[in-house]
Amino acid sequence: GEDVEQSLFLSVREGDSSVINCTYTDSSSTYLYWYKQEPGAGLQLLTYIFSNMDMKQDQRLTVLLNKKDKHLSLRIADTQTGDSAIYFCAESMVRDDKIIFGKGTRLHILP
Amino acid sequence: EAGVAQSPRYKIIEKRQSVAFWCNPISGHATLYWYQQILGQGPKLLIQFQNNGVVDDSQLPKDRFSAERLKGVDSTLKIQPAKLEDSAVYLCASSLGGGGSPLHFGNGTRLTVT
């Protein structure tokens, strides 16, 4: 079946790195995404990685993909108060172009 | 480039009433999605359109929910009659279509059913 799992909560000190983890079940996924949702807003695409890649870096964001373990992570370097939000992992399916979301990880920034 | 537009932003209705939401996708985006996001959960796909045809509506409660995308551009989602458990944020998203095209989301409509 199709399922995307994330831990629900992460607390990090300002200036430290945040690492948000995700596992998925469908080995036929084409792309894996990270979206950010701030209060009262829709989902904002942060970054995405094609399933034949291992890593993608974009400024403070680093995405790591372990295809063998079906594990995806998002690292945010030098975490700032503006990074406080809910982060959703999502996978797209080859067969039907459907995108499945996890339940989201709420990132809380400590001063 | 203008983003995905949704209206209204908020709606409060009583159970058994009807409600409709409107979405205008990004210009040129062939695929349009309606998602339901219940508090504390990730978005759940209700219906996916490719141009004006339905690709997937397997999770749409068809006894009370309906959606259309006339002329392959704007879309409306209707609930009739509403139940308490329909309280959620209804998100519209669009994409160019084709494998791996990222979704672009609107800000959603927050529905409260009392």
Arithmetic mean of pLDDT over chain B = 93
Q: What is the dihedral of CA A105, A81, A49, B2, to 10 degrees?
A: 100
B20: Cβ contacts below 8 Å, ≥ 6 apart: B76, B77, B78, B79
Using a CB–CB cut-off of 8 Å, the residues of B that contact A are 4, 31, 33, 40-45, 48, 55-56, 91, 93, 97-100, 102-108
- Would the CB atoms of B97 and A97 count as touching at under 8 Å? yes
Where do we find the tokens 């993608």? A56
The H or E element that residue B105 is part of is strand B104-105
Residue B71 three-state SS: helix
Contact across the interface for B99 and A92, Cβ inside 8 Å: yes
Token pair for B69: 């995308």
Q: How high is the pLDDT of residue B26?
A: 95
**Among B55, B56, B105, beta carbon nearest to A42:** B105
Token pair for residue B57?
């509506």
- List, for residues A31-75, the tens digit of each pLDDT value: 899 999 998 888 999 999 988 889 999 999 999 999 889 999 999
Closest CA to A18 of A54, A60, A70: A60
pLDDT mean over B69-82? 94
Helix (H) or strand (E) holding A23: strand A18-24
Higher per-residue pLDDT: A68 or A10: A10
pLDDT surpasses 60 at A1? no
The angle at the Cα of B3, spanning B65 to B19, to the nearest 5 degrees, equals 25
**Residue B1 — very low, low, confident or very high, per pLDDT cuts 50/70/90?**
low
- Express each pLDDT in B29-44 by its tens digit: 999 999 999 988 899 9
Return the CA Rg of chain B: 13
Q: What is the interface size between A and B, counted as CB pairs within 8 Å?
A: 59
pLDDT band at A86 (very low <50, low <70, confident <90, very high): very high
Q: Note the pLDDT of residue B97.
A: 79
Structure tokens at B95: 């994409």
Peptide bond into B102 cis (omega under 30): no
Best mutation target among A99, A103, A105, A106 (most B Cβ atoms within 10 Å) is: A99
Residue A107 has pLDDT above 60, yes or no: yes
